[in-house]
Chains A and B, each alone.
Chain A
Amino acid sequence: MAAAAEEAAGSGGGSPSSARRRLRIISGHLRGSPRAPEREALSPNPCKAQGGSAGPASGSIPRKRQELLKWNGWGYNDSKFIFNKKGQAEFTGKRYRLGGMVLPTFKEWIEKTFGASLEHKTTSRASLNVNDVPPSIVNEEFLQDLRATKISYSQDAEDRVFRAHGHCLHEIFVLREGMFKRIPDIVVWPVCHEDVVKIVELACKHNLCIIPFGGGTSVSSALECPEEEKRTIVSLDTSQMNRILWIDEKNLTACVEAGIVGQDLEKQLAESGFCTGHEPDSMEFSSLGGWVATRASGMKKNIYGNIEDLVIHIKMVTPRGIVEKNCQVPRMSTGPDIHHFIMGSEGTLGVVTEVTIKIRPVPEYQKYGSVVFPNFERGVACLREVAKQRCAPASIRLVDNAQFQFGHALKPQVASIFTSFLDGLKKFYITKFKGFDPNILCVATLLFEGDREKVLQHEKQVYDIATKFGGLAAGEDNGQRGYMLTFVIAYLRDLGLDYYVIGESFETSVPWDRVLDLCRNVKERIVRECKEKGVQFAPLSTCRVTQTYDAGACVYFYFAFNYRGISDPIHVYEQIERAAREEILANGGSLSHHHGVGKLRKRWMKESISDVGLGMLRSVKEYVDPNNIFGNKNLL
């Protein structure tokens, strides 16, 4: 279920307009015809197809994930970075704006930043070795009962392996070079709420372990099977529960099955002129249920809110029964909100099956923007002021100098001499005329959304504030490229892995007054730890302030290094990541802003929420799931 691990996972196009364009392209590529929206909107919610595979499959993600998606890396099979015959970097495929483009400066950047060389290559094995896969152990009585329900299932090795992991570095590494010790024994594909009820009942009857699976984009080890689990592990793949059950235009809500992935949700709502506006960077692949289970956050939360602001009603199937509310209201005072036991439960309590979510009319107009600041400190001060005045645009992000240069390296070959001349002029103006140091300056990227007139007004307000902090407007193009970086980063990791470069991202939230100290200290800690652990070349250690709130900000780090000469890179990587997390906590940052805890960050839970707090969560788990049917061992 932990599928919403958004930013780390990266998303296509990043920004709404490009996202939509991207989605349109994607939809053209997909097999099967889209459902007629009228029928969907009108139908109440009887279970759709009875009897498995013949039925739905109209979502973007097929049951056989590997037909569309990489089995040992991120995203679509046809989309990846390569070095072409001329040795220049290029992004393949036609799904993204960057598709088919040559990136002339990228190779130099990667060599300079990591000391990597194209001559030193590692290769993943070409395909999964089915003989290595742990056997499926499923008791025959359960199989008989399952067949009787007509719910589709599979014991195929590939199906099981591809649901045994998320997208943490070590998981991808295992796919490329090793094998998981424990994987699900069987995969089931319910197509509706009732199917889930049946599966959970069977699991209770036969004492099985269920691990819900949504989009598979977790970056917290949430999907890994506990090695010591002796019971049969059932991977409950929600991907075929992907219908919009109804849209309520009067109240601006929609009831949606939890397995729908972000791109399908937005695409289908758009057909009626609506959107949710929830755009985690993983939205192409992550699912609504996953967002709920991990407390996801979207890029445009300033307008639409995070998942906890968007959700009106949740239906969840637990071993104890179904949990839901009696009405769909904006707020209620009935004791602690039970939704908050569910949001962030990371698949430990049950399966979210249906969610009523707020919708908004698709905005009329949107516009990118960017501002260059002489240094990171001024940039942070500006973001703080924007947050104080509560005038943050749909998205506002501040990248540090290293990330600015990173973004620059992904600049495609310019089409005309004129553009290149203009670029040169701009560069001259900023560095020579305004005296910004290109190795210190940093950039804020902006996305405005709404009525045309209001957007322009809003834009002026934000630029006026930026001017007070020494910021210079730097054009729409830079802004858009900034957002692009977010989605390509996940594809880039696969490229890095081919050249001895491993990397990952992590995030935190922190009060405003500590943002600068935290960013500086965590980056420095990473550099130091790398040195101590024998990493030969200084790592890439970079951050951005990626969300603003009244009381603080969300900070996002990228960290990557060249591991040539290190015998156990994953272990070294994990030690450094752990040190970085310690540093974050010591600097007053949170354990996670939106990636969640999973199994990766469990050790700090007690410190994060106190003994009593942990006990409160445990007692809920004990009541709801006394036999630990939902035994993924996340969180607690």
Chain B
Amino acid sequence: MSKKRDEFEDILEERRLSSDLRYAMKCYTPVIYKGLSPCKPNAIKSAVLQSEQVQYVIKQLAKEMGESPDIIQEEATEILDEMGHSMQLGAVRFFAFTLSKIFKQLFQRVCVNEEGMQRLQHAIQEHPVVLLPSHRSYVDFLMLSYLLYTYDLALPVIAAGIDFLGMKIVGELLRRAGAFFMRRSFGGNRLYWAVFAEYVKTMLRSGYAPIEFFLEGTRSRTAKTLTPKFGLLSIVMEPFFKREVFDTYLVPISISYERILEESLYAYELLGVPKPKESTSGLLKARRILSDNFGTIHIYVGQPVSLRTLASGRINRCPYNLVPRHLPQKPSEDIQEFVSDVAYKMELLQIENMVLSPWVLVAAVLLQNLPAMDFELLIEKTLWLKGLTQTFGGFIEWPDNLCAKKAVVSGLTLHSNIARLVDGHVVLNDKGVEDGAVGEIVFKRALAILMCATYRNQLLNVFVRPSLVAVALQMTRSFRKEEVYSCFSFLRDVFSDEFIFFPGISLKDFEEGCFLLTKCDAIQTSQQEIYPTDKGSVIVSFLSTMFRPFVEGYQLIFRYLSKETKEVFTEKQFIPGVRNFVFQLLEKGNTQCYEALSSDMQKNALAALVQLGAVKKKKMSNGFTYNVNQEAVNKIMDMFDARIPVQKPVAARL
């Protein structure tokens, strides 16, 4: 399981030794795509406007709306001007300089696997490249550009949300550093879609620059990988489907932060304190964080994956041969399924190479031992968890073979805002818990727990398969493999938005979970049965406790949906409703599940019910409304509470 992984190099080391200015002004002659005919950003824009694809849609819309094509063409030009990047070396150098300064201030080290960079260098020359980094922080945005500049590779163009444009100066600066901007939703706008898709594809086809975007669509507030968005991915895959390019490389990139810059902002946001609008003044105010220490960043550039290899034998070529390639064509079902599979595969690769710091282990142990934990025990448990994580294939970077105690202390120092050492015990840093109203105490506590959970969450996708087997073992109270599997499969369905599972391979996931548990001697399996070993019960109970917040959280949310809500509601009503409900229970001390306050969990639970068919989701003019089938919710709840056994996986899909 433990794969051979590359070594890391600290790129800040060099920055600390030599002049940033000279670095920013260095002679930059990047490695580029072999088939590239260099062109200016504006040339791309005009190629897009004149493309058959965009012209076709313009003519169609003109005919349908009875407008002159010129007016629509004008509109397209505006869209393109709003969207397009205008990459300039000057801006890149500016960022190279300022980011060097800022990174050195914020981070101890920025570590990169150099072999990954070398592989990337080959890939960029050979075929168009799509960079797919994980997204945990705004820092991700320019991190890859910074990296590629450092290694003399072609700079990427980066898909960014349109909200950045609201920031004065910064938006334009980003644009010049290669960002292009997409509106958050444009499903219904055919012109926008056509222009956007063609813009991306034109850059890809010509090998103009690597294209970078975030599969997760947005920054994950929980540090757990978000389920992938498919829109942009299907756009960048299309030139290959249509054989406009020979191949396309997809490069999964895992960026992990020892301490996330936005950690407390995220926690507030999850608790319903709204996200501040992106603004330049906001950014300037945030500069006080410059005095803080955010530890190390690890960037692991994964093996480039050839789309051609992935597609081999899977794609029926007919649909693309029988329609002119410039006509907008809804992708066939196989294609959609393929795109989805690729998206999940890429995210799983990101997860596989995501570096886990010792602190992540500390957080996971600590959350199971609140309110306070003996320091020595914490060290012992952390070390134990390290072994288990490695058995499960987790990628732990233990700094310089530090002894366990030093590693834990160093983690505590870095994260002193979350936990601290008091009288030989480690406690959560929920200052002000003693005084103030009950509500305030609950809120502060929730804040600390959610922040801590952000770090534990980084373990979850590595642990989810064996852990769900453990949870299933406890829930079914049976050793019969078939029953445990049914329960596992049910849990996997319920948590399908919470964790990343490759679609449709429930049994394989189950077998992997069992295999890992067997590997760490936690269970023994026979043809028919699964049972925990004597020493395995510690592991099984640790694993199921690790996932208990999710099980309990979902139970609370289901309960709310089944009893406390109107039959029809909107998302805007749902989140505050369920939050209040949980909040009151916490105030009364009827539950300890603070994580159920997280809007992320609430949304995922609702999405799971929609997928299981217990809630109907309808698109209305002002957003979505939901319609609860209480009987169905009750049934799921009963299975979830283990009051009734889970039926066969198929039957469980109500």
By a beta-carbon cutoff of 8 Å, the part of chain A in contact with chain B is 513-514, 517-518, 520-521, 524-525, 585-588, 607
Instruction: Please tell me which stretch of B194-202, B259-267, B320-328 contacts chain A, meaning at least 4 of its Cβ atoms lie within 8 angstroms of it.
Output: B320-328
B246 touches A524 (CB 8 A): yes
Q: Nearest Cβ distance between residue A470 and chain B, in whole angstroms?
A: 14
Q: List 8 A-B contacts (CB under 8 A).
A: A513-B325, A514-B243, A517-B244, A520-B246, A525-B246, A587-B243, A588-B317, A607-B318
Write the chain B residue with the least CB distance to A520. B246
Q: Which residues of B (225-279) have their CB < 8 Å from a CB of A?
A: 243-244, 246
A586 touches B324 (CB 8 A): no
B243 touches A586 (CB 8 A): yes
Please measure, in the bound complex, the distance between the C-alpha atom of A521 and the C-alpha atom of B243, giving whole angstroms.
Answer: 8
A588 touches B243 (CB 8 A): yes
Write the chain B residue with the least CB distance to A525. B246
Please measure, in the bound complex, the distance between the C-alpha atom of A520 and the C-alpha atom of B207, giving whole angstroms.
Answer: 15
B246 touches A521 (CB 8 A): yes
**Within 8 Å CB of A588, what residues of B?**
243, 317, 320-321
Q: Nearest Cβ distance between residue A614 and chain B, in whole angstroms?
A: 15
By a beta-carbon cutoff of 8 Å, the part of chain B in contact with chain A is 243-244, 246, 317-318, 320-321, 324-325
**Within 8 Å CB of B320, what residues of A?**
588
Q: Nearest Cβ distance between residue B372 and chain A, in whole angstroms?
A: 60
**Within 8 Å CB of A587, what residues of B?**
243
CB-based closest 8 A-B pairs: A588-B321, A587-B243, A586-B317, A524-B246, A521-B246, A517-B243, A521-B243, A517-B244
Please measure, in the bound complex, the distance between the C-alpha atom of A586 and the C-alpha atom of B318, giving whole angstroms.
Answer: 8
Q: Nearest Cβ distance between residue B200 and chain A, in whole angstroms?
A: 18
Known: A517-B243, A517-B244. 19 other contacts (CB 8 A): A513-B324, A513-B325, A514-B243, A514-B325, A518-B243, A520-B246, A521-B243, A521-B246, A524-B246, A525-B246, A585-B317, A586-B243, A586-B317, A587-B243, A588-B243, A588-B317, A588-B320, A588-B321, A607-B318
Name the residue among B317, B320, B321, B324 with the largest chain A CB count within 10 angstroms: B321
Write the chain B residue with the least CB distance to A518. B243
Q: Nearest Cβ distance between residue A384 and chain B, in whole angstroms?
A: 14
Majority secondary structure, A binding face: helix
**Within 8 Å CB of A514, what residues of B?**
243, 325
Please measure, in the bound complex, the distance between the C-alpha atom of A517 and the C-alpha atom of B318, giving whole angstroms.
Answer: 17
Please measure, in the bound complex, the distance between the C-alpha atom of A588 and the C-alpha atom of B325, giving whole angstroms.
Answer: 10
Name the residue among B243, B244, B320, B325 with the largest chain A CB count within 10 angstroms: B243
**Within 8 Å CB of B321, what residues of A?**
588
**Within 8 Å CB of A513, what residues of B?**
324-325
Write the chain B residue with the least CB distance to A375. B37
Please measure, in the bound complex, the distance between the C-alpha atom of A524 and the C-alpha atom of B34, giving whole angstroms.
Answer: 13
Please measure, in the bound complex, the distance between the C-alpha atom of A525 and the C-alpha atom of B324, giving whole angstroms.
Answer: 23
Please measure, in the bound complex, the distance between the C-alpha atom of A518 and the C-alpha atom of B320, giving whole angstroms.
Answer: 13
Please measure, in the bound complex, the distance between the C-alpha atom of A585 and the C-alpha atom of B320, giving whole angstroms.
Answer: 11
Q: Nearest Cβ distance between residue B314 and chain A, in whole angstroms?
A: 12
Please measure, in the bound complex, the distance between the C-alpha atom of A365 and the C-alpha atom of B244, giving whole angstroms.
Answer: 42
Write the chain A residue with the least CB distance to B241. A586
Q: Nearest Cβ distance between residue A520 and chain B, in whole angstroms?
A: 7
**Within 8 Å CB of B244, what residues of A?**
517
Q: Nearest Cβ distance between residue B112 and chain A, in whole angstroms?
A: 29
Q: Nearest Cβ distance between residue B123 and chain A, in whole angstroms?
A: 15
Please measure, in the bound complex, the distance between the C-alpha atom of A586 and the C-alpha atom of B312, giving whole angstroms.
Answer: 11
**Within 8 Å CB of B325, what residues of A?**
513-514
Name the residue among A521, A585, A586 with the largest chain B CB count within 10 angstroms: A586
Please measure, in the bound complex, the distance between the C-alpha atom of A524 and the C-alpha atom of B127, giving whole angstroms.
Answer: 11
**Within 8 Å CB of A518, what residues of B?**
243
**Within 8 Å CB of B324, what residues of A?**
513
Write the chain A residue with the least CB distance to B320. A588
Please measure, in the bound complex, the distance between the C-alpha atom of A287 and the C-alpha atom of B243, giving whole angstroms.
Answer: 38
Q: Nearest Cβ distance between residue B600 and chain A, in whole angstroms?
A: 42
Please measure, in the bound complex, the distance between the C-alpha atom of A587 and the C-alpha atom of B243, giving whole angstroms.
Answer: 6
**Within 8 Å CB of B317, what residues of A?**
585-586, 588
Please measure, in the bound complex, the distance between the C-alpha atom of A607 and the C-alpha atom of B325, giving whole angstroms.
Answer: 20
Please measure, in the bound complex, the distance between the C-alpha atom of A437 and the C-alpha atom of B109, giving whole angstroms.
Answer: 47
